[in-house]
Each structure stands twice: as structure tokens, then as C-alpha cells.
A and B are shown apart, each in its own frame.
Chain A
Amino acid sequence: MADLISIGQSGLNAAQTALNTASNNIANVNTPGYTRRTTELAQVAGSDPHGGVRVAGVERRYAQFLTAQLNGARSGAAAANTQLEQLAQIDNLLGDGSVGLAPRLQDFFDSTTAWAAAPQDQVARGAVLNNARNLTGQFNALAQSLADIGKMANEQLRSAVDQVNRNTDQIANLNRQIVRAQGRGETPNQLLDQRDLLVADTAVLIAVSVTQNDDGSYNLTAGSQPLVDAGGSHALTTVADANDPSRLHVGYVGASGNVREIPDSWVTGGEIGGLLAFAADALAPAVDRLNETASALASAVNAQQAAGFDAQGNPGAPLFDIASTDAAAASITTVMSDPAHLAAAQDSYTPGDNRNANALASLQDAPVVNGDRSLFDNYALMVGEVGSKTQTLRATAQTRDAVVAELTRAEQSVAGVNLDEEYVNLMYYVQMYQANARVINSAATVFDTLLALR
């Protein structure tokens, strides 16, 4: 009888634990990083032949390999998506006709042609200067927009690096807590969930590799640098490029506080990898093309000016100036202020001589960029490059998102909560509870029967 009661008691306890587990699963159905638990039951072993049931453990259904794969996929997808978000800004910038360079370039050359047809016309000369100013203003604005996009990307990079540092700090902290808890014989499921969630969040920022130590702590490596070393963490930082201060790289803070630059090629995934790739593969080439176009325009037009004579009989003065050759588009200006300084004539000034003006107007289709492309071709090349990079990245991001979705499905098929399943569990363990209550009830009846015998 005592056996019956203790067996029933063990069943009641086990059912209650299982109901708790199911309830906890239901409660956390939407909690990020939550790994569903299952109640593992076992019979009571040992000398007692009648036994009973015991809770062998509340298992965390953690899919170790799928999680590692998923984290890798998250890094890849985040890199592609971040790069795409940045590049889409340039794509949109060039798609907007009002800020595009081509219309202003065209207006300028239209006005030079009109001037070549009427070289002594003051209005035509004035129009050339006005359109030159609009054109250089457009170069400056476009360069500024690209610089702004670069600045924003740098800000994002800094904040992502800070977030990595906060995460690794917390992971190290959790490592210590987990090792202590396990030392006490506990199963710190909640801490484990927290730590895995932090690793997943970090993988979105930078590609990480994780190894587990024997004591249950994690080691985390990114960019070939140890970020978490069991209970300790090491910080990342940003370092300005030696040649171009507007570019940032990732740096590793050593034990003595010294900073070592990590080559971009080592930092492959995550938001950080995506931002570095954007700066190197998309932004810099676009800026280079724009600078190339501005330089070619200035040198070709100024050379043509110098070859002719202006309305005051002097050799043609420069129309454009570039203050800094490294930032040609940002620093190009229209330096001529007197329309009479435009050099229409060829050998010496005569008012009807339009030969140099004709030559200047014909520069619009001359191969002035590196000797093989016109200004328009070069700008079209830049637009085409940005467009096809964006297009390719969009496809890459879609593919990688699909991989993440597929792996998430697989990982969640192990670790995720299914409410229907938990509903069934609730029903099942309520029945178990009721049945065990009946066992105790039966024991009482048996006991009462025995008492009644006397």
C-alpha cells in the first residue's frame, strides 16, 4: 500500500514536471533563442522491486551541427544583404535622372555646340559658362552623395564592431556562469539558450567559428582572431586606412592594448564583412570612375582652351580647375568667370573664327578617358557597373536568404516549439496525472478495505 502511494506519488510528480515543461514550451513559443525542452522519464531503478517513475532530466533539444551551419549561413546572408542595402543607395542615386551626371554633361556640350555656331554671341558664351558651373556642381554633389554613403557605412561598421564587443563580453560572462552551474551539477538550460542566441546574433555581424571546451565553455574566433577564450574576451576596433582616411578596416586589440589591423580578406561574413566588401568592391570603384570622368573632362577641355585664342586675343585660359587630383569629382570647379575668355578662334583672335570652339564641342565624343572612352561612355560604364553589381548581389542575397530559411526550418524542426504537439503533451500528461491520482485513490481504498476487515 505504501508502495502504491509512493508509486502514484512519483507518477504525479513526473506528470507535473512534464506539464511544467510543456507549459514552459508554450509560454516561450515566440521567445527568440528558446530551445524547446522535453521531459525525459525513466523508471526508478535500484533495490525497490516495485519502482515508480522518475524524471531523468529536462532535455534541451539543441541541434548542434544544424546551429553551426545556420550561423554560417546567417553570416553569409547578412554580408550579402548589408552590401546590397548600401549598393542600392548608389543604384537609386544613379537611377534618379535629376541627379545623374549625364543630363548636365549633355547640357554643357549642347551649349558649346551652340557657341561654336555663333562664336561671338555673348548669350551663347554665357550659356557655356553657366552650364559648366552646373556640370561641376553636379560632379561635386554626386561625389558628396557617394562620400555620405561611405560615411554612413563607416558609422554602421563602428556600431557593428561595438555590438560584437558587447556580445563577446556577454558570451565570456555566460561561459563563466555556465561552468559554475555545471560544476554544481545543474543544467543551466536558460543560460545555454542565452549564449547560443548571442552567438547567433554575433554571426549576423561577423563570421564566427565556435568550439566547445570540455568544461562546457565556448571559444569564439572571428577574422582568425580569438574573440572569446573561455572566460575572457578580446575586443575588435576600427582602424583608418593608411592611404585613404575615409576608409575603415577592422582592428584587433591585443593584450597590451595595441591595435593590429586585420586584412579585409580575413573578415568575410556578416554585416561587417558586407560593409568592408561594399567599401572596397563597390564604393571605391564608383568613386574612381567619377573621378576619372571629372579629370578627363577638365584636362581635355582645358587643353583645347589652351590651343585657341579668346575674344580678347589671349591664349585660352583654363575653364575648369581640380584642386585635389585624388578627389577630382569633389574638387572640380569652374574657374572662368568672364565668357570673353572662352577661346573660339584657332590661330589668333578673329570674331568669326569658330574652329577651336568646334574642336571643343567635338570633345563630347572624343576618346578622352584613358584614350579609349568618351566621357559619356565612361559614365555609362560606371552606371552599368553599379547596376550589374547590384543585380548580382540581389540574386546572391536571395539565394543566401533561402539557405537561411531552409536551415532555420531544419534547426527549428529539432529545437522549435510546435503548439499542437504541446497541446497533445498537455492532454497526455493531464491524463497521466489523473491516472496516478487514481492510483493513490486506489491505495486509499485498499487501505480502507483493510481497516474495515477488523
Chain B
Amino acid sequence: MRLSTNILFSQGSRALLDQQSRMAGIAEQLGSGKRVNKPSDDPRAAANLLVREHGNRVEQQYADNRAAARNRLATEEGQLNRITDVLEQAKQVLIYARNDTLNDNDRTILGTQLENIYQQTLAAANARDSDGNYIFAGFQTDTQPFSESVPGQPDSMTYYGDSNRARLQVGSTRQITAGTPGSAVFGADAPDDNILNTLAKAVQALKTGTDVAVTVDHAQQQVEQSFGNVLLVRSELGTQMKELDQLDDAGVVQAISNEEQISHLRDADLARVIPDFLMAQTALQAAQKSFLSVQHMSLFSMG
């Protein structure tokens, strides 16, 4: 085929440009360390990456929620632990109080001890978390859950919270309740039927010496029941904590798997890119050399 001189040159320069842009593409991968630098590099991977990265962030949201849930459960557990101790003391005091040989003075001392226990239980029931929210108030986190309905009457403690439990999304298909309402920890059926009022009534009986046996008997039953109740709530918390740990472990595995997928989709495989780069470099040099030699091949430059 007859070749025009221009074609010889333009072919040479086209080959040069092609090789250069090929090298630039590979150099971009080397520079960024990514094989997908724009969607057209690998459209399916680019779309997939967005979905995976979103998945990763959602996993992170769950992990954050698990941390928040753990924090709340720990705070609640701290108060319940305190209440367990206090109720244990209450049981001891009430056993002494049933002793028929007590005199008025003894009963007054026991009454004072029990009053102290009442105050500690009340403090725990109305405890707040580090953000200032009441722990045992259900959704009514800005309302003190237990207060006297008749001012000055310690046995008129009424529950002003509700029975709701806040839920946190801690896994893609798992919500966890974080926070037990005060009614479930301290209460019975009615707002004013709770362990605080039981203790207050026992304090009054011991101090005044009226209906001591009946009141203390009743109080012993109630404290026993409440004690069991608190232990039950604590064991629920323990189960939830354990589940959070398991979800954490699963989350870590999921995050690693996500990261691997993302890296697989996005990151350049240097073991492949570097040889590619070297080959492109060789090809470019060859194109340059052949261009130079073609350039000198003219009868005009020889004659």
C-alpha cells in the first residue's frame, strides 16, 4: 500500500498519544492506590462501593447505639446494685424489728435505720444519668419519677413516670430496650403502691410503736418481693449486656468483611498494576523510538 508521509507521522504520534494516555491511566491507579477513580473505571464496582460504604456506616451507627445502650444499662445496673444492697439491709432491719423483746428505744433506732434505707432507695429511684435524665421514669425523662403526692407524708410516694421503654437499634434486625420504668422496678399495680411507701409505713410503725407486728410482717413480704424483682431486672440487664457483646463481635466481623469487600472493589492491586505500568512504559519507549527512526527515514535526509 502506498503510504503518505503525513500518515507515517500521524500514525507515529497517534501511537505515542495512545501509549501516553494508557500510562497516565495506570499512573492514576498507582498514585491514588485505587482502581476505581471515577464511575466509568468500573461502573458496577462504583455503584456497589456506594452501597457497601453505606452498609459500613450503618454498621457504625449500630455500634454507636450499642455503646449508648451499654452506657445506659451500666448506669441502671449501678443504681440497681445499690438498691439490692439497701434492700438487703432492709431485710436485716426488719428481722430485728420482728423480735418481741425490743423496747421502744430499740424500735426507734431500727426505725431511724430503716428511714435511712428509705432515703437511699428513694435517691436510687430518682437517680439521673450523666445527661441529667431520670433513669427510672420511662419516657418522662424530665419528670422526677417518685415524689410525695401529699407534701410532708413520706408514705404518699407516687410514680409520675410511665411504663414505656426506649428502644435503640443495635443491629440490622435488633432493637434493644434501654431503661426499665420505675413502675417495673419498685412498684406493684397502682402508682402509690410501691416499696417506698411500704418502707415509709414500717418506719412510722417502728417509731410510733403502733401495729408493729402487722406492718413489719407486711413490709418483710414486700421487701422480699421487691428484692426478687430487682434481681430479675438485673438478670435481664445482664442478658442484654451479653447480647450487646455478641452483637459487637458480630459487628466487628461484619465490618471486617465490609472493609474487605470495599477494598476489593476499590483498591488497586499493586502486584498487577506495577507490572502493567512497566509494560506500558516499555511500549511507550518503543513507540518513541520507532517514531524517531521513521522521522529520519527520508530520501531527502540521505541525498
Interface of A with B (CB < 8 Å)? 29-30, 36, 88, 91-92, 94-95, 102, 106, 109-110, 113-114, 116-121, 345, 350-355, 358, 361-362, 364-365, 376-377, 379-381, 383-388, 390-391, 394, 405, 408-409, 412-421, 423-424
- Known contacts A121-B131, A394-B40, A420-B298: A383-B3 contact under CB 8 Å: no
Besides A408-B10, A409-B11, 4 new A-B residue pairs in contact (Cβ under 8 A), listed by A number: A117-B65, A353-B139, A362-B169, A387-B42
In chain B, residues 132-185, which have Cβ atoms closer than 8 Å to a Cβ of chain A?
Answer: 133, 137-142, 162, 164, 166-169, 175, 179
Does B166 contact A384, Cβ atoms closer than 8 Å?
A: no
Q: Which residue of B lies closest to A121 (CB)?
A: B131
Residues of B within 8 A of A352 (CB): 133, 137-141, 164, 166, 179
- Known contacts A29-B5, A350-B164: A424-B141 contact under CB 8 Å: no
Report the minimal beta-carbon distance from A417 to chain B, rounded to whole angstroms. Answer: 6
Check B61 for interface membership: any CB of A closer than 8 A.
yes
- The 8 A-B pairs with the shortest beta carbon distances in the complex, nearest first, are A416-B4, A387-B39, A95-B38, A387-B43, A384-B47, A390-B40, A350-B139, A352-B141
Q: 1/0 per position for B61-83, CB-CB distance to A under 8 A?
A: 10011001100000000000000
Residues of B within 8 A of A423 (CB): 298-300, 303
- Known contacts A102-B53, A110-B61: A412-B137 contact under CB 8 Å: no
Check B14 for interface membership: any CB of A closer than 8 A.
yes
Report the minimal beta-carbon distance from A117 to chain B, rounded to whole angstroms. Answer: 4
Check B289 for interface membership: any CB of A closer than 8 A.
no
Contact for A106 among B1, B57, B303, CB less than 8 A: B57
7 contacts across the A-B interface (CB closer than 8 A)? A113-B65, A358-B169, A376-B50, A384-B46, A412-B4, A413-B1, A417-B4
Does B141 contact A92, Cβ atoms closer than 8 Å?
A: no
State in angstroms the CA–CA spacing of A414 and B137 once bound together: 94
Check B54 for interface membership: any CB of A closer than 8 A.
yes
Residues of B within 8 A of A106 (CB): 53-54, 57
Does B37 contact A95, Cβ atoms closer than 8 Å?
A: yes
Residues of A within 8 A of B3 (CB): 409, 412-413, 416, 418
Q: 1/0 per position for B273-303, CB-CB distance to A under 8 A?
A: 0000000000000000000000000111001
Residues of A within 8 A of B57 (CB): 106, 110
State in angstroms the CA–CA spacing of A387 and B298 once bound together: 46
Residues of B within 8 A of A95 (CB): 37-39, 41, 46
Most buried by B among A94, A379, A383: A383
Does A380 contact B50, Cβ atoms closer than 8 Å?
A: yes
Does A365 contact B50, Cβ atoms closer than 8 Å?
A: no
- Known contacts A113-B61, A120-B133, A362-B169: A29-B38 contact under CB 8 Å: no
Does A383 contact B50, Cβ atoms closer than 8 Å?
A: yes
Number of B residues near A (Cβ < 8 Å) is 53
State in angstroms the CA–CA spacing of A93 and B236 once bound together: 52
Check B272 for interface membership: any CB of A closer than 8 A.
no
Most buried by A among B11, B47, B133: B47
Does B300 contact A391, Cβ atoms closer than 8 Å?
A: no
Does B4 contact A380, Cβ atoms closer than 8 Å?
A: no
Residues of B within 8 A of A390 (CB): 38-40, 43
Does B133 contact A351, Cβ atoms closer than 8 Å?
A: yes
Does A118 contact B131, Cβ atoms closer than 8 Å?
A: yes
State in angstroms the CA–CA spacing of A358 and B175 once bound together: 10
Report the minimal beta-carbon distance from B197 to chain A, rounded to whole angstroms. Answer: 25
Report the minimal beta-carbon distance from B278 to chain A, rounded to whole angstroms. Answer: 23
Report the minimal beta-carbon distance from A41 to chain B, rounded to whole angstroms. Answer: 20
Does B48 contact A418, Cβ atoms closer than 8 Å?
A: no
Does B5 contact A419, Cβ atoms closer than 8 Å?
A: yes
Residues of B within 8 A of A421 (CB): 2
Report the minimal beta-carbon distance from B220 to chain A, rounded to whole angstroms. Answer: 34
Contact for A412 among B7, B46, B131, CB less than 8 A: B7
Most buried by A among B2, B3, B53, B166: B166
Report the minimal beta-carbon distance from B10 to chain A, rounded to whole angstroms. Answer: 8
State in angstroms the CA–CA spacing of A388 and B48 once bound together: 13
Check B58 for interface membership: any CB of A closer than 8 A.
yes
Residues of B within 8 A of A380 (CB): 47-48, 50-51
Contact for A383 among B39, B54, B60, B164, CB less than 8 A: B39
State in angstroms the CA–CA spacing of A418 and B7 once bound together: 9
Report the minimal beta-carbon distance from A380 to chain B, rounded to whole angstroms. Answer: 4
State in angstroms the CA–CA spacing of A423 and B168 once bound together: 88
Does A114 contact B64, Cβ atoms closer than 8 Å?
A: yes
Does A92 contact B38, Cβ atoms closer than 8 Å?
A: yes
Residues of A within 8 A of B43 (CB): 383-388, 390-391
State in angstroms the CA–CA spacing of A138 and B80 once bound together: 48
Does A417 contact B6, Cβ atoms closer than 8 Å?
A: yes
Residues of B within 8 A of A36 (CB): 4
Residues of B within 8 A of A420 (CB): 5, 298-299
Most buried by B among A29, A350, A379: A350
Does A91 contact B39, Cβ atoms closer than 8 Å?
A: yes
Q: 1/0 per position for B20-56, CB-CB distance to A under 8 A?
A: 0000000000000000011111111011101101100
State in angstroms the CA–CA spacing of A120 and B139 once bound together: 11
Report the minimal beta-carbon distance from B38 to chain A, rounded to whole angstroms. Answer: 3
Residues of A within 8 A of B131 (CB): 118, 120-121
Report the minimal beta-carbon distance from B130 to chain A, rounded to whole angstroms. Answer: 11
State in angstroms the CA–CA spacing of A113 and B166 once bound together: 14
Residues of B within 8 A of A383 (CB): 39, 43, 46-47, 50
Report the minimal beta-carbon distance from A322 to chain B, rounded to whole angstroms. Answer: 23
State in angstroms the CA–CA spacing of A362 and B166 once bound together: 16
State in angstroms the CA–CA spacing of A205 and B2 once bound together: 30
Q: Which residue of B lies closest to A415 (CB)?
A: B4
Report the minimal beta-carbon distance from B242 to chain A, rounded to whole angstroms. Answer: 20
- Known contacts A354-B166, A380-B47, A424-B299: A418-B5 contact under CB 8 Å: yes
Report the minimal beta-carbon distance from B202 to chain A, rounded to whole angstroms. Answer: 32
Residues of A within 8 A of B69 (CB): 117
State in angstroms the CA–CA spacing of A379 and B46 once bound together: 11
Q: Which residue of A lies closest to B48 (CB)?
A: A380
Residues of A within 8 A of B68 (CB): 117-118
In chain B, residues 177-224, which have Cβ atoms closer than 8 Å to a Cβ of chain A?
Answer: 179
State in angstroms the CA–CA spacing of A384 and B4 once bound together: 44
State in angstroms the CA–CA spacing of A91 and B46 once bound together: 11
Does B7 contact A408, Cβ atoms closer than 8 Å?
A: yes
State in angstroms the CA–CA spacing of A418 and B139 once bound together: 91
